[in-house]
Amino acid sequence: MEKQSLPASSCSLVLLEETKRSPLHVSNGAANGGLVPLTHSGSDGSVVGGACAGADRKVGVAEGPGYPERETWTRQMDFIMSCVGFAVGLGNVWRFPYLCYKNGGGVFLIPYLLIVFVGGIPIFFLEIALGQFMKAGSINVWNIAPLFKGLGYASMVIVFFCNTYYIMVLAWGFYYLIKSFNATLPWSTCDNPWNTANCIESFHHQACKNASLANVTVSGNMTCAELADARSPIIEFWENKVLNISSGLEEAGQFNWELILCLMAVWVMVYFCVWKGVKSSGKVVYFTATFPYVVLIILLVRGVTLPGAYDGIMYYIQPDWSKLKEAQVWIDAGTQIFFSYAIGLGALTALGSYNRFNNDCYKDAFILALINSGTSFFSGFVVFSILGFMAAEQGVDISQVAESGPGLAFIAYPKAVSLMPVAPLWAALFFFMLVLLGLDSQFVGVEGFVTGILDLFPGRPHYRYKREIAVAICCLLCFIIDLSMVTQGGMYVFQLFDYYSASGMTLLWQAFWECIVVAWVYGADRFMDDVARMIGYRPFPWMKWCWSIITPCVCMGIFLFHLVNYKPLNYNNVYVYPWWGEVIGWGLALSSMLCIPVSFLYKLFRAKGTFRERWAHLTTPVWGAHHLEYMAPDVKSLSTLSPGTDDNKVIIFESVM
């Protein structure tokens, strides 16, 4: 067969994936003057064409059935809602409002918004655009620079750990939701089997402000001195009933069978949301992503009508300009962005990979960032209107009831709703919202993990139920690990995963290397050109500057601050983890962080040739078949290429693997 060649502007393209189309089809949206050094191969497999004509390199020729077309979203709104469901989660409701209050109220928005534009949006856009451009999950997307494929493995490890421990919050929320359907909320009284003699329903701290009243009885049979050791029924319900917490990590204790059933129920829900792929999860997320907003609005309307709500909201937004001088405020803003935007987990890349190639992901990134940050700010009004009411009812300062994390979700807020009329209704609404907020984040996280795994094993027609089986194995494996978190020592295990496996350090490390690889190894200008081919115009140069310099500096600066100011993990500022617990925690953190340098060194030392040859060879992108369709330089010439009798063969350039 006669060799044919087409002009090209570069010879860096590598095609590995096979296709059955003959002649090759190029859509009308193909970019003019693209990067593809497209040639046709003869029977000897040699490549002749364009700028690469003199290379005379040998290539493999793929034969047999091609890979199936990648699944795409039914509607683009499915993608938007899935990203909203994943990125907008519990951190927006229980972490941002507390950080805002703690770090100067409205002043916190200055460092927060600044880091949104120099760190959050650039990396958020980078991950979505990368997935859309490469049409691959979190591992194969790094075929753009195969030497750094360890980034993909690192993100898979992080998202696996997230999927494992994050669902425990759903299990606890589901447990509270079930317990909300009682005429009297079980955490509102002290006459339950799990309550102790120190339990007291109503505190009167304001009556004990005078130290001389230490021996005066102020509440039931309790004196002011005894009142200092008293415990709220909600704390006893949480620690004695829900967690049945042991004395430490070394004491695992018994299983909580009620929690095991709740855990099993939420994993079953996650499985059936994900098992059919984006065609099903894209529909479920319409409800799971939007209904929490309905509940938030209802709770806000209720909250602002309660006494003390105004004081609570003012505590939330009242600016304290002196806070801007504190480094911790800027660090909190940075880490919150990386947490709430779900950066570095690979799930955003997987979601983007199901987009149409010419989807305007640049516009999507700004819309999603606005929704994410807007939800965080709005949630603060809901939370602090309720906390203001709670503080007014107990006669204490808001600083004594303002909490973050599980403390807000399972202690402060349940206590607040127990003080309201028709308490079970508000409790059920709150925990239903909590479950939905966590559920869509969870099943999109599982979707991201499964997508990355399945991309490693390209489809074969007879593997009909491979997705269903892969999702089932993933859910079952996570469930088995989760059993360690439904024991009496389970909270200590949960904290280890939360503090180390997906901590600020691991996410910042991941984001730093993502920017370095795209901007300095692949090329920021080159990737901007690729984005322009997809969306039809070049993004503002600010993105390129951020990827190249600003964002890596921000990530590394916050990373080093975390490292220098590292504090050993403790529970409730009382229990300090043993040394071997710290070792386990660092093992969880390093299991993802070391993927990048270990994979880099392994690939580099396995390759042959000089260092420069190895580097050039291993940083040459490996493109997929869809790049033929969308980036071919000459549509007319492509249509004339007919492989004749070899209609199962395709044009493939030298592999870098």
Q: For 60-80, what is each residue's pLDDT tens digit? A: 333 333 445 677 887 888 888
252 and 489 Cβ atoms separated by less than 8 Å: yes
Share of the chain residues as helix, strand and coil, in percent rounded to the nearest 5: 65, 5, 35
358 is in an annotated binding site: no
11 and 52 Cβ atoms separated by less than 8 Å: yes
376 is in an annotated binding site: no
Stretch 405-427: mean pLDDT = 80
652 and 62 Cβ atoms separated by less than 8 Å: yes
Of the candidates 76, 89, 435, 531, the one whose C-alpha atom is nearest the C-alpha of residue 278 is 76
**In this predicted model, what pLDDT tens digit does every residue of 186-212 receive, in sequence order?**
988 888 888 888 788 776 555 565 544
Alpha-carbon span 113 to 333, nearest angstrom: 8
Q: Which helix (H) or strand (E) holds 218?
A: strand 217-219
- 52 confidence band (pLDDT: 50, 70, 90): very low
372 is in an annotated binding site: yes
Alpha-carbon span 597 to 657, nearest angstrom: 18
What's the CATH number of domain 77-201+220-605, 3.40.50, 1.10.1060, 1.20.950, 1.20.1740?
1.20.1740
385 is in an annotated binding site: no
Of the candidates 132, 49, 111, 649, the one whose C-alpha atom is nearest the C-alpha of residue 357 is 132
In this structure, which amino acid lies at residue 492? Answer: Y
Q: Is residue 50's pLDDT more than 60?
A: no
Can you say whether residue 541 is alpha, beta or left, with left for phi > 0 and alpha for psi between -120 and 50 degrees?
Answer: alpha
Q: Which helix (H) or strand (E) holds 294?
A: helix 278-304
Instruction: Write the CB contacts of 456 (distance below 8 Å, at least 6 apart in sequence).
Output: 139, 140
508 is in an annotated binding site: no
Q: Whole-prediction pTM value?
A: 0.80
88 is in an annotated binding site: yes
159 and 449 Cβ atoms separated by less than 8 Å: yes
634 is in an annotated binding site: no
Mapping DSSP to helix (H, G, I), strand (E, B) and coil, where does residue 438 land?
A: helix
441 is in an annotated binding site: yes
**Residue 408 corresponds to which tokens in the numbers above?**
């807000």
85 is in an annotated binding site: yes
**In this predicted model, what pLDDT tens digit does every residue of 220-269 receive, in sequence order?**
556 666 666 677 788 888 888 998 888 888 888 899 999 999 999 999 99
